[in-house]
Chains A and B, each alone.
Chain A
Amino acid sequence: MKIFVVGLNHKIADVDVREKLAFQGDKLETGLMRFRDLPGIEEAMIISTCNRVELYASVQESGQAAESIKSFLASFHNINRESLDKSLYIYNDVQAVRHAFRVAASLDSMVLGEPQILGQIKDAFELALSKKTTGILLNKLMKKAISVAKRVRTETKIAENAVSISFAAVELAKKIFTDLSSKVFMLLGAGEMAELAARHLIGNGVREVLVSNRTFDRACDLAKEFNGRPVQFDEFIQEMTSTDILICSTGAPHYILTKGQMQKVMRERKQRQVFIIDISVPRNIDPAINDLENVYLYNVDDLQGVVDTNLFERQKEAEKAEKIIGEEVETFLKWQASLDSVPTIIALREKAEEIRREELEKLFNKVGELGEKEKEAIEYMATAIMNKLIHPPTAALKGDTENKEMLVAAVRRLYGINGEKHEE
């Protein structure tokens, strides 16, 4: 049996294709059951997220399986069969294993190292388990993929450091202040990016939220939303004395906070550290303010710079992750090979042979002098018992059964033949 994947992701297919092929809501379950019942499919599992749709299977013969999966996708989603060809990838065997590990470890994600995909895989796997659509191969593959993803996360820094502007702002705030929950945060102006950053900061727990806006009504609305206090626009500078973090995004065409004003504020707040994020374009805060001691001013480009550095770091970490995945693919393949019946039959035989030899030796030592004839008779009997005992499992392994992998695994386990480490 082979592992087989047919799928598409954000790299290969646009969103309009992805949404057509997605298994949303109830469709996932019915889709999964129909997928499992396709001819030639032994085990089945579907991962469907907004960035990818992937059908995992274990199959006897991959050529035929590819065709039947494609036809199934086309008929299930009511789309043209031919149009599918160019927007799907197909992986077999080693490649399929590697692909599953890479997806779980978030190396194949749109944002490298993002953590959601692992949860989505776990959900998909759980559904498959509850519907009993997977078996020995896919179960092992998914368990392994999940543990590989965890290993990648702990051994590399792929998921560390913010890769969006708003998270970068929070990350910086945490490196300036010990404890955000004792800090006062002010949002000056509005705007999508500013509000997103504000939401992240508030989500990390600040002591007080102030909101100021040129239109006071807007300030009141936002203050209500953020559970904060509205501040008149011409009073924001006074409030700076107690504000530790300021996000500024107003439409003003000029600086609304100058170096001189800020100097005065710093004197009043006894030089306590201030973190100012100026998201507005054109900039609203005099860049020279960054020269003041204990004032840290970041504008959009600065934050983007931080994000770019972090993304670059993640790419470097991704190389380490690929190495880990390479190792894990190796061990998986070894395990898979151990499911082959021939080496198991040989190992079983060797094991029995070893027991027979040892026991005979023990017996001969204990009993002492024995004639050649008696010895021969005892040896003959031992061999006969051994052969009779291992004949049925050997025959079963040699025979043509459906779940051979399962049988091989069972024999190895029951007779204590080690070919793999037990990881459970």
Chain B
Amino acid sequence: MGVLLFELSLTCYFAAALIGITELFKESKTTEKIALLSALIGFSIHTVSIIYRYLSAGHIPITNPHEATSFFVWCIVLIFFFLQYRYKISLLSSFIMPIVFLLMLTASLLSREIKPLSPTLQSYWLGIHTVFAFLGNASFALAFGIGFMYLVQERYVKTKNLGSLFDRLPSLQTLDEINYRLISFGFPLLSLAIITCALWAETAWGSYWNWDTRETWSLITWFIYAIILHSRLIAGWRGKRAAILSMIGFITIIVAFFGVKLLKKGLHVFL
């Protein structure tokens, strides 16, 4: 049952991504609606599958790579719908749904076995820490997509070669501001995730900071986003620079998320 729900939502995300990409080449109001609808169906099924897993495991289902990635995707789609609702950005699904699908596909390849919870994870910090971390990272994922849209539109306007997406992409200022808002939303969440991580580490292992690879990478991403926000406020780094930095930031997150896991095992047993 859990598997079926997961596969179903994966399929819906795949459909949304596929339709989103065809959207880039052929404009049509109906296909855009279909893309959104299949994303919405995927999201609903996904929600049910997470609740189902929560009930069958008896604890918050973010305790192995599969669950963590799946929950990460869920957060991204949640924020995606918020943006869609709030700003009605056309082509947003074309840029975001492929990311969603790829991450969901990765989740599907990871082991889905439900293991008994190790004692260090049996803490209320688990829920608090992970929700902060994933919501924060999800808004950075959206910033990545928006940043990419900015770079495409920026290139059109700068080179004076107004390509096929020029009409449909939002204005540069809109994209830049949404990018900034996403980062200013994600940054405090990331900070809270790091603080709760330290507090939790203290109760679990007796020291606040252990310099395990996961912690180090989180700190690196924290610095990248801190630089984006700081330089924007102080030196007015906006537009292209902010877009590129926000893309680098998210790539770092992905490296930290999956790459580190592959390289070696740290204290973060569940990623």
Q: Is A271 an interface residue (CB 8 A)?
A: yes
Chain B residues positioned under 8 Å from A269 (CB to CB)? 236
Q: Is A296 an interface residue (CB 8 A)?
A: yes
Q: Is B98 an interface residue (CB 8 A)?
A: no
A275 shortest CB reach to chain B, Å: 9
Q: In the complex the two chains form, is A294's CB within 8 Å of B240's CB?
A: yes
B231 shortest CB reach to chain A, Å: 10
Chain A residues positioned under 8 Å from B173 (CB to CB)? 176-178, 273
Q: Is A172 an interface residue (CB 8 A)?
A: yes
Q: Is B26 an interface residue (CB 8 A)?
A: no
Q: Which residue of B lies closest to A174 (CB)?
A: B171
The answer to whether A175 and B166 touch (CB under 8 A), given A273-B173, A306-B160, is: yes
Q: Which residue of A lies closest to B160 (CB)?
A: A302
Within 8 A of B (CB), among A221-276: 267, 269-273
Chain B residues positioned under 8 Å from A161 (CB to CB)? 167
Interface string of B153-196 (1 = CB under 8 A from A): 10001101010001101111110110000000000000000000
A7 shortest CB reach to chain B, Å: 35
Chain B residues positioned under 8 Å from A160 (CB to CB)? 167
Q: Which residue of B lies closest to A296 (CB)?
A: B157
Q: Is A293 an interface residue (CB 8 A)?
A: yes
Q: In the complex the two chains form, is A298's CB within 8 Å of B236's CB?
A: no
Q: Which residue of B lies closest to A160 (CB)?
A: B167
Q: Which residue of A lies closest to B156 (CB)?
A: A175
Chain B residues positioned under 8 Å from A175 (CB to CB)? 153, 157, 166, 169, 171-172
* Complexed CA–CA distance, A50 and B189 (Å): 64
Q: Is A309 an interface residue (CB 8 A)?
A: yes
Chain A residues positioned under 8 Å from B177 (CB to CB)? 178
Find the residue from A174, A294, A309 having the highest chain B CB count within 10 A.
A294
Q: Is A147 an interface residue (CB 8 A)?
A: no
Q: Is A290 an interface residue (CB 8 A)?
A: yes
Find the residue from B169, B170, B236 having the highest chain A CB count within 10 A.
B236
Q: Is B20 an interface residue (CB 8 A)?
A: no
Q: In the complex the two chains form, is B157's CB within 8 Å of A271's CB?
A: no
* Complexed CA–CA distance, A163 and B199 (Å): 62
The answer to whether A306 and B162 touch (CB under 8 A), given A175-B157, A176-B157, A272-B236, is: yes
* Complexed CA–CA distance, A271 and B172 (Å): 13
* Complexed CA–CA distance, A305 and B239 (Å): 25
A187 shortest CB reach to chain B, Å: 21
B155 shortest CB reach to chain A, Å: 12
Find the residue from A269, A273, A309 having the highest chain B CB count within 10 A.
A273
The answer to whether A271 and B239 touch (CB under 8 A), given A175-B153, A290-B158, A296-B158, is: yes
Find the residue from B160, B169, B174 having the highest chain A CB count within 10 A.
B160
Chain B residues positioned under 8 Å from A273 (CB to CB)? 172-173, 176, 239
Q: In the complex the two chains form, is A176's CB within 8 Å of B160's CB?
A: no
Q: In the complex the two chains form, is B239's CB within 8 Å of A178's CB?
A: no
Within 8 A of B (CB), among A264-301: 267, 269-273, 290, 293-294, 296, 298
Q: In the complex the two chains form, is A293's CB within 8 Å of B171's CB?
A: no
Chain B residues positioned under 8 Å from A296 (CB to CB)? 157-158
B30 shortest CB reach to chain A, Å: 12
Within 8 A of B (CB), among A160-186: 160-161, 172, 174-178
Chain B residues positioned under 8 Å from A172 (CB to CB)? 157
Within 8 A of B (CB), among A358-396: none
* Complexed CA–CA distance, A255 and B68 (Å): 58
* Complexed CA–CA distance, A177 and B173 (Å): 5
Q: Is B53 an interface residue (CB 8 A)?
A: no
Chain A residues positioned under 8 Å from B162 (CB to CB)? 306, 309
Contact pick for B238, options A272, A306, A309, CB 8 Å: A272
A404 shortest CB reach to chain B, Å: 43
* Complexed CA–CA distance, A309 and B161 (Å): 9
Q: Which residue of A lies closest to B174 (CB)?
A: A178
Interface string of B224-253 (1 = CB under 8 A from A): 000000000001111111000000000000
* Complexed CA–CA distance, A172 and B241 (Å): 21
Q: In the complex the two chains form, is B236's CB within 8 Å of A270's CB?
A: yes
Q: Which residue of B lies closest to A271 (CB)?
A: B236
* Complexed CA–CA distance, A410 and B238 (Å): 69
Interface string of B205-235 (1 = CB under 8 A from A): 0000000000000000000000000000001
Q: Which residue of A lies closest to B29 (CB)?
A: A154
Given contacts A178-B170, A178-B177, A270-B236, 6 further A-B contacts (CB under 8 A): A172-B157, A176-B157, A176-B173, A269-B236, A296-B157, A305-B160
Between A and B, 16 residue pairs with Cβ closer than 8 Å are A161-B167, A172-B157, A175-B157, A175-B169, A177-B171, A177-B172, A177-B173, A270-B235, A272-B236, A272-B238, A273-B173, A293-B240, A294-B238, A294-B240, A296-B157, A306-B160
The 5 closest A-B pairs by CB, nearest first: A270-B236, A271-B236, A178-B173, A178-B174, A294-B239
